[in-house]
Structure 1
Amino acid sequence: MNVDKPDLPRNAAVGQQSTHLWIARPDGSLDYVNGAWRRFAGRSAPDMLGDGWQRLVHPDDLPGFLADWRESCRSGTPLTAEVRLLAADGSAPVFVVQAQPLTGGDGEILNWHGINTVVPADSAALFHGSEKPSEIMARVRTRMVASADHDLRRPLSALSFLSNSLAKRLHDPISQDLLAAMGRAIQSMQTVVDGQLYFDQVDSGQVQLNLTDHPVNASLVTLANGFSPMAERKGLGFTLHPSSATVRTDPALLDTMLKNLVCNALRYTAEGRVVVGCRRRGDWLRIQVLDTGRGIAAEELGLIWQDFFRSSQSVRSYPGGFGLGLPVVKRLAERLGHTVEVSTTPGRGSCFTISLPLSHRAASPTPGGGTAAARPLDGLRLLVLTEEAAAANAIRLLVEEWGGTVETARTAAEAESLLAGASLPPDAIVADFRLGGQSGGAGGIFTMHTLIGGRGHPPKAPLRGFILSGDDGAVREREIELAGYGKIAKPIDPEALFRALSPLPRRRP
């Protein structure tokens, strides 16, 4: 296809596609425009690349837009602006133009990814008619989000699929490097689109609430499963203190808020640890996420809740963020009737706190709602042998909430040392099937045989052994059963873990 010729006649340009995608160099000149913008403008790609796109902005809007765009290029901050773009048929509809920088490992901007989304024509009703401006804007925004969801997510998903398929067919290093760069660009744009669409849904009130009584420990287990590997890769400590509290909230939205806070804490902490804990205060529970990161400068503290805000130091040192996580947390907290606050010490770390109401539901001794007065696994002693921090954290959170104690080991030698030095042996051992990255008899099953029956430890042997496994196949189930052990599936499910451990007898001193 000859890209020098428009794909559609000039009079068919408007309305065929409402979303334009483009990529620009660090200085703001265009390197790529998609077919949707070319068809809309009735121009060829060479006409629009470089600084040619400036001829497609309404003359009255161009000076102000150029000033904003140049400032974003200079500072490296995302751009959001409204501007009229000239169409092939002579019209000039209003577009929301958004651009996000893609940065390298050193924080330097490699290029910009941009999205132009048309503002529906019925937004002109803002200036006349009986509807309130806020009602009209809410309706227009809903349509824009729906349009972007259809026009952006589908082609980006297709691009990702095609890129992955093409990677299997290319073998020369140069082509593979180019394809990898393209994949990173697609992933970056997907992140921008998904984050922006979810943010818009939250901001426009489209996220529905489902308030219910929720055991907060279930959310902590979700954090353990999701973020322990990230902490381990960075060499950070990641501690979650179990809580027996039941709160009144929307569980899915609470998980979103906590995930955003923990992700930020891990991203901006170079060394040390991240801790998640809970404290009761009257009829409220305070869930706190503490880190030992760089803290927040006093002049930035009032800006962190603003849309797209990222400090210049964050952009340079921690590329890849888009400044939407904390605004989403703030808006969700407001919708739920919760509060969120921050305390910080520059150079030492920060503490984000979500305060939410405790449930008045009667406490239960079941896995979802154990209390200090009803602890169904009181006195149970467990030894967990796994290299996966997510599994170890999740088991420890749950068992300690239910009244038991957990010791963890990463290697067979470490487990043997704990057994040899224990005044009272554990009631059960849980060992990872793929201990040491291996499988079958060379991994967890072989180690379990050794710990339970060998090396001079029979008097201290636990009564029961369990194998951790993420494989659901019948062959694996049978292999573990024939070895004489129970199975605990990964990721850890609270109900299944409780069913496995609750029948175990406790050893007394």
Structure 2
Amino acid sequence: MIDTLINPADPPERQTQKLLTIAQVLMRRVEQITDDSGAAYAQFQRAAMLEDQVRERTRDLERALDLLNDSNARLAEANRATEAARQNLANAIETIQEGFALFDADDVLVMCNSRFGMHMLDLRDHLKPGLTFGDYVDRVSRSRFLELPAGESPEEWAVARRRRHQDRHVIFNVRMVWDRWVQVSEHRTADGGTVILQTDVTEIIRLERSERGKMLDDQARVIRATLDHISQGVCIFDAEARLVGWNQRLGQLLTIPMARFRMGVSFDAILDRYRPDLAFGEGMTEARLGDWVEGGGARGALRFELRRGPDMIMDVFAQAMPDGGFVMSFTDVTAERAAIEALSRANETLEARVMERTLELEDALGHAERANASRSRFVAAASHDLLQPLSAAKLFISSIGDEELAPGARTALDKAQNALLSVEGILGALLDISKLESGRAAVSVGPVRLDLLLARLNDEFGPIAAARGLRLRVVPSRLSVMSDPAYLRRILQNLIGNAIRYTDAGRVLVGVRRRGGMVRIEVRDTGPGIPEEEQDNIFKEFHRLNARASASEGMGLGLAIVERACALLGHPLGLTSQIGHGTCFMVQVPMTETTAPPDGPRPSPSPRRPMQNRIVFLVENDGDLRRAMGLLLEKWGVSVLDAASGEEALDLIEELGILPDCFIVDHNLGEGMDGLRFLAEMAARHGAVPARIVTADRRPELRAACAEAGVDLMIKPLDARALESFIAGLPVSA
């Protein structure tokens, strides 16, 4: 209609003017048509919006269609690639020289090549995808091309084949008709499927069989040559006890012509033929041998002796073979038996001589042991007897101590005191050696605190080292060890004293090193050193390297005591030395975490306390020692009562009617009561009185008895300071 109103031939300006006029008319007309609520305009708006939505949905559908077309194209390409891959896989497995089959995780055949089942023509038509493994095994078991093992049915073969299928990897050979063989190799895939490979191994098995036959022939020739060259006679019987093999030596031993031997002759026939010439040895009879021969493969080996005439003895060894047969070997042992008899006769003579010599050695050993025991007893008795006058001499000298003396007399007195100390040390060492050698030494192992032990050794040897111009350094340690405290202290005393004695200048160092669960206590010096060839000799009794050392400096017993005490305690003892630089002795002791019981405070020197108004009763059967001790006590201001025996002391107390402040009692009072019995009798009559037992007896049993009685022990020779400390500590009499 607009085309009729506008003339195309009009100029543009005219056409534009007409269009503006038409638009104005239409606008007025639209404004005039209101429909009460503007429904027409609303419908126009909805139509415009609907057109926009339709256009948007159309564009979405066009994009979706494009995507669908693209996906279809890709799917088609993937299907083509999959089919190509499947065809390539089929071509690949077809080129394999072995038979190939793939079963999925459900044991269903997926694919196989043309060589799979190549020896079973009656199975080829059934080998198609979809065949289950069970059906495959059933058809194989019934195939006329499968040669089943003897005595096995198709059902039994199928059950065994399925059982093998349970393994992840299995390889076995299957025999086919016409003597052909197939090796079956079965393997599991990652997804649970199964790959089966079939390989024709007929030529390999035939070649192996041929080679085995050749090898058996060669072995038979070697065995024949061996049998003919060994010194034993050998015969071989099969499961029916028929002769199947023998050697020439057998005929020589049994004096049987070789022409008499023939294949298949029975064992009983051979035994019957030669029974008159043969005799069985002890423990073997013809019946027992017959039972063994008939025993079959379950019989064990059999050995017996066989005599041929009076001059030959043969050792027979029979052993079963796996096939039920047996082998017997005959060895001529005549010469060996004769040698054994001669040796037996010689042994009888030798045994008599050995017995005689043993008795002589036992007598000599008994004499030596008695001599050694006598020596030990003599040393102990002599030392004990020497300690009595030694103790008296020390006390006599101590009683002179503070008196005014001329310088020469004082010097002589000091030398006498030092000489007595040296004698005391030597006697103590002799007693230690005697106990260690006689085996009477008893140890009491327990925790030992090294700090207290080393501190006491430092106090003991510090002044001695200083007097010789040496520096003694004892490194403290807080460790505890398991040992006998008395023996460990004696070991270290001897090592430190030995180091000080043989060191002219420098120092002596005592220290502790921790080595795992062990503690190594070292004593180092800067002495002259010990030559390597002498390092074993220094532990011998009375052996001293330094010949200039006098008896007052020791008799060479210290290191002997150290070695024996370490062996008794199980403490390893070591030594390193360098000439001109010094020596180091090392003792290894087990470490313990257990804390040693407290040892009480270490006594410190205190000024002498007055001892007037104290009464001391001496019970001592040695007159010199009693007088020396009394003289010393009276010099200290002590009133002294004395008696030579326990009975005399009891009578004197009853007569005087007073009790002393303390008793000092010798344990060995002669044939009457000993010291402990005397103190027990005193306590029963008058109550407990402070006392000390004095003795030279160092036995642990006596120490234990005193401890049980609650009495302290003082070892001879008496130490005047210890005696003074005891008396000064007594309460003053009222």
TM-score strictly above 0.5: no
Q: Which has the higher contact order (CA 8 A, sep 6+)?
A: 1
TM-score by length of 2: 0.30
TM-score (norm 1): 0.43
Larger Rg: 2
